[in-house]
Structure 1
Amino acid sequence: MDRDERMDFIIVTGMSGAGKTQACRYMEDIGYFVIDNLPPVFIPKFAELCRHSDGHVNKVVLVVDTRSREFFDTFIHVLENMDRDNQPYVMLFMDASDAAIIRRYKETRRRHPMAPSSRIPEGVAKERERLAPIRNKATYIIDTSDLKKIELKEKILNIFASKPGDKLSTNVMSFGFKFGMPLDADLVFDVRFLPNPFYVESMRHKSGAVPEVAQYIEQYPVTKEFEKHLDNMIDFLMPQYEKEGKTQLVIAVGCTGGMHRSVFIAKHIYDRLKDKGYLVNLEHRDLMKNDVWEHVREEC
């Protein structure tokens, strides 16, 4: 399937205990709509509905496995019909060694779907035989026998997060310490050491996004020096977070009231990340909470 097509239609299947659920969680993190345990007979109709959704549903994952019991027997025929009708799809097959699967089932004390009243190895053998023709049609096969969760996440991102922005979504937030620190922040920068426009009467009622206020803050050597160190740190950290597989990052910048200095520095970070092609959003959390807001002029 062409990765540049308007809709990504992914079918995830494979051995029970091989990590389908975990893989789908990572795919949800990068924007896929996941439907679990769909009977195979409904796949073509669902794909057609998605293609006529006017782009509202364009990243879809369907999980199909032996839990569908007798419905599963139609799976190979459904795939053959989709191939014949040129209906595009990508299939991810999750696999693992028999020993790894048996160990996982023993640890979780769950029953194998192919062996509800018999020994786990028998169920694994039956399922592997039943899935053999499906595995042969897979676009991608991931063997999780010796994979850590972070390694699985990296593989999923490398295959399915096709755009750089999909890999890491960053939210840059300004805030005021007097209103409390944001609980979901990954990085927090305290900029209360920078010159404060609040004490300049003509700037007191204007935010840090107003050019006059921004120029006032940036004119000081301490601001320029801080921006230099901040830029170097951000440039170093972003690739490290991407490499680690992080999908969401919150950078919080705080000053006393969340109106002048934090707004200015948050905008600086936002502009830099945007220029480098990252998917980034900007939020001024506490701007409207200040008592002086009635005369604020915001010019983002």
Structure 2
Amino acid sequence: MNNLAGIDLNLLVVLDALLAERHVSRAAVRLNKSQPAVSHALARLRDLFNDPLLVRHGGRLEPTIRALEIAPRLAEAMARMRSLLAPVGFDPATERHVFRVAMSDYGAAVLLPRLMATLRVEAPHVDLIVSQASREVMASQVVDGEIDLALGVFPAHGEGIRSSLLFRESFACLADASRLGGSLAIDLAEYLVRPHVLVSLRGDASNEIDLALAATGNARRICLAVPHWSVAPDLVRGTDLVLTVARRILPQADADGLAVFEPPFAIPPFDFEQIWHRRRDGDPGHRWLRALVARLLGDEEPVTTAGVKYGAQRTL
């Protein structure tokens, strides 16, 4: 491995794709190669590293310990090579690029409609591949180079991760207005009596709402836990259920017949961020995407980027 003259460096491009896709056929599509060619390259990589690198588990290829050690270093090296060979700027009006972005159902609801509408006008050749995972998995995917950008709530940042605050979010309650007795709000006693809907990937009570309620010495009854924000508002219609959610998600729902009101106890707000790895800092396209996301989710009036070319960032 020390003599680069005897190594086909194109194999590393294949390995980078295989580690990202965990699937031979998808890696072949990504590389515009045939499946047999990618399989042959994997066999050569296994000989080169003297390790299986990827082993089949179900319908996926799972990386070995050696491959997991290689992945972040390889992703960083590939990013540096792309940066070296890429043009010195990024023109969103003409550039062809695919970004891989991870976000929750909530993040998709508040960002994707505005983002796609903007991309179709300002960057018609820029495509997105959006995935969803827990905050811990998204952070590890950023570090490993599997995704370019992650949006969500990240209380802790791993080594090499950069972040920027997009907005600070608060909570509100949603209930069927006809079940509130004309007050359009409830007190803490009524809140505790009523059944609740919880939006959570894991369905447990280790969330901001229940932790804040526990701090008051109380607990609520969660009669339904769902993993998606989008379906939750309709679940309270015609019932005595209460939904406590991030406030920005509520305008996405049809509020006809539903009442929005303040929680009857204090829930700390949370910071919604975008995170990326430091190896992406100088990538002009990545800088453009981060700036666009920040603009769309910020409180200021959007400003068009049409005709603006994003140059490579220079570090003094």
User: TM-score if structure 1 supplies the norm length?
Assistant: 0.25
User: TM-score if structure 2 supplies the norm length?
Assistant: 0.24
Please tell me whether Structure 1 or Structure 2 has the larger radius of gyration of its CA atoms. 1
